[in-house]
């Protein structure tokens, strides 16, 4: 990875790359699970010229950003770690955010990744130089989301660009009239304001998705009054969570084969759940019944039960797990409001029926901008084509990793690789394995670049979209998986084992390449 000596202002002419760039040099965007996994496997493969650009000041990605009270993962602990870096002493069955972040820190230290990371450095643009087979990467260092400071512009060069930004890194804020005039404190769940005590406050929560059902219970315990504004109820199952006993942790540590067996059992039992995501499946019906029984057992008041019962297919939005959300909603200081929010005043939320709720704090649990993927970064590929233009009808890639016309670009957790039933770390490891085979090919065949054949990419995506039509995500609910044109750009359409099969050996006949 090389860097030009002179800093520059983005938008001015691009600089000349230095002549001594080690081949292949790799630039990675993001230091969450994806970016770190990529760097570890690159190092293991003998590639040392690695730079990770991280816009924040510490590693962790989504687990750094989502520090809201109650934040936890709904994938079991022993599966929510890299296969090559097991952790025996998970404290409980489902990991909490702080423990996951601790694990990520441990990984960054153990594999000596920090010297490769440029913190507080945001990638703003990347342009592929076809003649040189190099990505020119524009960054801003030291800019701040909080104080609006501008930062220092620089240009870097790398043969390979890896995007590891995830699908859930840009908070979505609702466009509700009057929000700019609200005089209280407002923040998003992924930008939690830990300085603002909620004790005794009059709080409004907008949204009731995966994040909100986790932070509503602890917020309800502190707030004086909490109004939860629900647009759509969600399907919720009991959470089979519990702390691990010391003897269990000891057994995991002393008997790695036992730990591995347990992890495999978790993987296959989650994998089996995919059947519930097929339209009209028997398993889906059984899971729906379990969710309704959970609601029935925790909520007695018929009107509230009705308000909390989803009217869309189970799984069309993410199936959630919680034992404390329904009880929290029924606390005397909590009210569930199902009338849509119409506007804000300087100190209240007003619903469409004209009812006004006094609040001094608004928390947005309104999710993320998910269908744009790399959107805020200007990516320019062969022939000056922009990725934004190539994706004007919706993001798509080959196996979610590579994109025709954008050579030597590899995406982790890219288009159509999100899951509703299993661990995303499994997918990331498959993608890293795939990308490294491609990078090795660049070296072994002395290639300047490679990228997928557009016809093969189109055929693959036709298959993806045809498969997706058979799943519950195509049954018409509004979800973050589907873009404004009705295309599901986010989800992998079948079992993860099928993804593993497709990515374990790169079919280079699906690729075009150019010699150095």
**413 near ligand NAP, rule: CB under 6 A:** no
CB of 207 to ligand NAP, least distance (A): 3
Report the C-alpha gap between 425 and 410 in whole angstroms: 16
Nearer CB in complex with ligand NAP: 126/212: 212
Which residue in the set 480, 492, 499, 511 belongs to the binding site for ligand NAP (CB under 6 A)?
480
Which residue in the set 207, 381, 405, 415 belongs to the binding site for ligand NAP (CB under 6 A)?
207
Task: Give the binding range for ligand NAP (CB under 6 A) out of 285-293, 300-308, 360-368, 437-445.
Answer: 360-368
**136 near ligand NAP, rule: CB under 6 A:** no
- Comparing CA positions, the residue from 471, 372, 460 lying closest to residue 163 is 372
Kindly calculate the radius of gyration of the chain based on its CA atoms and give it in whole angstroms.
24
**73 near ligand NAP, rule: CB under 6 A:** yes
Residue with tokens 């709080």: 203
- Give the single-character DSSP code of 319: P
57 torsion bin: left (phi>0), alpha (psi -120 to 50), beta (else): alpha
**154-155-156 Cα angle (round to 5):** 125
Task: Give the binding range for ligand NAP (CB under 6 A) out of 9-17, 195-203, 362-370, 408-416.
Answer: 362-370
Buried b (16+ CB within 10 A) or exposed e, 202-214: bbbbbbbbbbbbb
Task: Give the binding range for ligand NAP (CB under 6 A) out of 66-74, 116-124, 248-256, 354-362.
Answer: 66-74
37, 82 Cβ separation under 8 angstroms:
yes
What ranges make up the beta strands (E) of 424-508? 447-452
Buried b (16+ CB within 10 A) or exposed e, 441-469: ebeeeebbbbbbeeebbeebbeebbebbe
Nearer CB in complex with ligand NAP: 25/230: 230
294, 236 Cβ separation under 8 angstroms:
yes
Report the C-alpha gap between 486 and 473 in whole angstroms: 11
**403 near ligand NAP, rule: CB under 6 A:** no
**478 near ligand NAP, rule: CB under 6 A:** yes
Task: Give the binding range for ligand NAP (CB under 6 A) out of 118-126, 144-152, 241-249, 359-367.
Answer: 359-367
**60 near ligand NAP, rule: CB under 6 A:** no
Report the C-alpha gap between 224 and 232 in whole angstroms: 25
Task: Give the binding range for ligand NAP (CB under 6 A) out of 10-18, 71-79, 156-164, 455-463.
Answer: 71-79
Nearer CB in complex with ligand NAP: 163/214: 214
Which residue in the set 164, 203, 204, 212 belongs to the binding site for ligand NAP (CB under 6 A)?
212
Which residue in the set 158, 206, 316, 427 belongs to the binding site for ligand NAP (CB under 6 A)?
206
Alpha helices in 273-365 (DSSP H): 282-298, 302-307, 325-329
Per DSSP bridges, beta strands 334-337 and 225-229 are: parallel
Task: Give the binding range for ligand NAP (CB under 6 A) out of 18-26, 247-255, 273-281, 361-369.
Answer: 361-369
Report the C-alpha gap between 379 and 406 in whole angstroms: 8
Nearer CB in complex with ligand NAP: 155/189: 189
**366 near ligand NAP, rule: CB under 6 A:** yes
Which residue in the set 231, 239, 331, 448 belongs to the binding site for ligand NAP (CB under 6 A)?
231
CB of 212 to ligand NAP, least distance (A): 6
Report the C-alpha gap between 27 and 49 in whole angstroms: 8
Report the C-alpha gap between 376 and 124 in whole angstroms: 7
Residue with tokens 């593993």: 500
Interface with ligand NAP (CB under 6 A), residue total 23
SS3 347: coil
CB of 398 to ligand NAP, least distance (A): 23
Nearer CB in complex with ligand NAP: 368/511: 368
Task: Give the binding range for ligand NAP (CB under 6 A) out of 158-166, 179-187, 364-372, 400-408.
Answer: 364-372
What ranges make up the beta strands (E) of 211-311? 225-229, 236-237
CB of 93 to ligand NAP, least distance (A): 13
Q: Which of residues 299-328 bind ligand NAP (CB under 6 A)?
A: 318
SS3 338: coil
CA distances from 462 to 22, 270, 412, 487, 492 (A): 38, 27, 21, 12, 13
Nearer CB in complex with ligand NAP: 211/461: 211
Which residue in the set 74, 105, 130, 369 belongs to the binding site for ligand NAP (CB under 6 A)?
74
- Give the single-character DSSP code of 403: B
Burial group, residue 388, by CB count within 10 angstroms (0-12, 13-18, 19+):
middle
**348 near ligand NAP, rule: CB under 6 A:** no
**166 near ligand NAP, rule: CB under 6 A:** no
**174 near ligand NAP, rule: CB under 6 A:** yes
Task: Give the binding range for ligand NAP (CB under 6 A) out of 3-11, 37-45, 209-217, 482-490.
Answer: 209-217
User: At a CB cut-off of 8 Å and minimum separation 6, what does 333 contact?
Assistant: 220, 223, 224, 225, 226
CB of 242 to ligand NAP, least distance (A): 16
Nearer CB in complex with ligand NAP: 230/402: 230
**232 near ligand NAP, rule: CB under 6 A:** yes
Which residue in the set 61, 166, 367, 415 belongs to the binding site for ligand NAP (CB under 6 A)?
367
- Which residues contribute to the site for ligand NAP (CB under 6 A)? 72-74, 168, 174, 189, 206-212, 231-232, 318, 341, 365-368, 478, 480
């Amino acid at each position: 990875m090389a860097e030009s000596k002179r800093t520059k202002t983005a938008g001015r002419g691009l600089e000349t790359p230095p002549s001594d760039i080690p081949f292949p040099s790799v630039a990675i965007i993001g230091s969450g699970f994806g970016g770190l996994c990529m760097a570890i496997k690159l190092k293991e493969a003998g590639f040392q010229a690695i730079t990770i650009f991280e816009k924040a000041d510490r590693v962790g990605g989504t687990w750094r950003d989502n520090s809201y009270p109650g934040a936890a993962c709904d994938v079991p602990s022993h599966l929510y770690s890299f296969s090559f870096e097991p952790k025996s002493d998970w404290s409980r069955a489902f990991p909490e955010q702080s423990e996951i972040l601790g694990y990520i820190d441990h990984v960054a230290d153990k594999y000596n990744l920090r010297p490769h990371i440029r913190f507080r450095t945001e990638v703003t643009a990347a342009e592929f130089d076809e003649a040189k087979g190099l990505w020119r990467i524009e960054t801003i260092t030291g800019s701040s989301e909080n104080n609006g400071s501008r930062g220092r512009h620089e240009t870097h060069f790398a043969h390979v660009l890896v995007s590891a930004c995830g699908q859930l890194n840009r908070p979505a804020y609702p466009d509700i009239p009057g929000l700019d005039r609200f005089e209280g404190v407002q923040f998003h769940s992924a930008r939690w304001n830990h300085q603002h005590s909620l004790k005794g406050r009059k709080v409004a929560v907008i949204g009731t998705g995966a994040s909100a059902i986790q932070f509503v219970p602890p917020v309800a315990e502190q707030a004086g009054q909490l109004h939860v504004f629900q647009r759509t109820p969600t399907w919720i199952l009991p959470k089979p969570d519990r702390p691990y006993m010391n003897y269990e942790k000891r057994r995991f540590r002393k008997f790695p084969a036992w730990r591995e067996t347990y992890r495999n059992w978790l993987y296959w039992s989650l994998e089996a759940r995919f059947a519930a995501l097929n339209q009209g499946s028997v398993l889906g019906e059984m899971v729906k019944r379990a969710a309704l029984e959970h609601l029935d057992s925790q909520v007695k008041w018929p009107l509230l039960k009705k308000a909390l019962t989803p009217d869309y297919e189970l799984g069309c939005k993410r199936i959630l797990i919680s034992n404390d959300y329904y009880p929290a909603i029924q606390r005397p200081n909590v009210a569930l409001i199902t009338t849509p929010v119409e506007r804000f005043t300087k100190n209240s939320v007003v619903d469409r029926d004209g009812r006004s709720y006094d609040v001094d704090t608004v928390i947005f649990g309104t999710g993320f901008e998910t269908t744009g993927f790399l959107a805020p970064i200007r990516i320019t590929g062969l022939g000056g084509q922009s990725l934004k233009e190539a994706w004007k009808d919706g993001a798509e890639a080959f196996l979610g990793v590579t994109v025709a016309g954008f050579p030597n670009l590899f995406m982790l957790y890219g288009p159509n690789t999100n899951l509703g039933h299993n661990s995303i770390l499994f997918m990331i490891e498959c993608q890293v394995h795939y990308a490294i085979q491609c990078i090795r090919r660049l070296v072994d065949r002395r290639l300047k670049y490679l990228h997928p054949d557009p016809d093969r990419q189109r055929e693959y995506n036709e298959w993806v979209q045809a498969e997706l039509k058979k799943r519950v995500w195509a049954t018409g609910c509004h979800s973050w998986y589907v873009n404004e044109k009705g295309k599901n750009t986010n989800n992998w359409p079948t079992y993860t084992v099928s993804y593993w099969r497709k990515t374990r050996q790169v079919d280079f006949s699906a690729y075009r390449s150019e010699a150095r």
